[in-house]
Amino acid sequence: MSAMAEVQPALIEHLKDLHLPTVRQCYEETARRAEQETLSYEQYLLEVISRECEQRRKTRVQRLLKESALPLEKSLPNFDVKRLPTKAQRQLRTLLEGGFLDRKENVLVFGNPGSGKSHLLTALAQELVVVRERKMHFTKCALLMQDLLAAKRDLRLSRELKRLGRYEGLIIDDLGYIQQSRDDMEVVFTLLAERYERGSVLMTSNLPFSKWEGIFKDAMMTAAAIDRLVHHCVIIELNIPSYRVEEAKKKQHAESQADGE
């Protein structure tokens, strides 16, 4: 029996025990190439370990993307950054570095419907997951409120808040888009209070602060919510035309030109 025939089964078992599936798959092919290219033992070891690490990173990113519940079609390559005001472009470049998550800072994006608020935050969150492996989670405000109300009814609200607390950045989309009762918004306020200086909130709204009392239905709660959000905060204002309206106009213009030919 050859030495390799004796070594191989033991090596495979050890790689299984150490949970190194990628090394197990590539070590033979890499060893043959290392012999042909006269690589040193260290170079060979570096290559197989590097491939293991890269595969683990890809797997980790896929898991984080799945847990994030982000709409993946709203990515940065699909976002027209040039439409943003100059200040917003600078803010986005800084936010992509991810430091605001370490500082537990919030990000509030205001703008008219169709201005790209949701796409901007979704694209930012995806980049933070894929490039920097940060833990993000996306939810519509109305759905978040329903989940929190159900958790409160079932006496598991603290457990649900703890689950959401695992994410470094929580994206709450469309605050104030749908009118809710005071009791409904109390659970959202509870979440904001729980995350204060513990984790970042990234939020979109088409309503300025001056109209938030219509969201929370209570002046004291409104003031407390705004105070917690803006204490450590980046505010992005998208005072730009609706992207959807612009696209519809372009389409209509193209169709009119085609009909005129």
Question: Per-residue confidence at 247, pLDDT binned at 50, 70, 90?
Answer: low
Segment 36-94, tens digit of pLDDT? 888 888 888 888 899 999 999 999 999 999 999 999 999 999 999 999 999 999 999 99
The pLDDT of 202-227, averaged and rounded, is 93
* DSSP conformation letters of 57-112: HHHHHHHHHHHHT--TTS-STTS-GGGS-HHHHHHHHHHTT-HHHHTT-EEEEEE-
Q: Hey, what amino acid is at 214?
A: G
CATH fold of the domain at 69-246: Rossmann fold (3.40.50)
Q: Hey, what amino acid is at 105?
A: E
The SS3 assignment for 134 reads coil
Average pLDDT, the chain: 89
Residues carrying CATH 3.40.50.300, the chain: 69-246
pTM for this predicted structure? 0.84
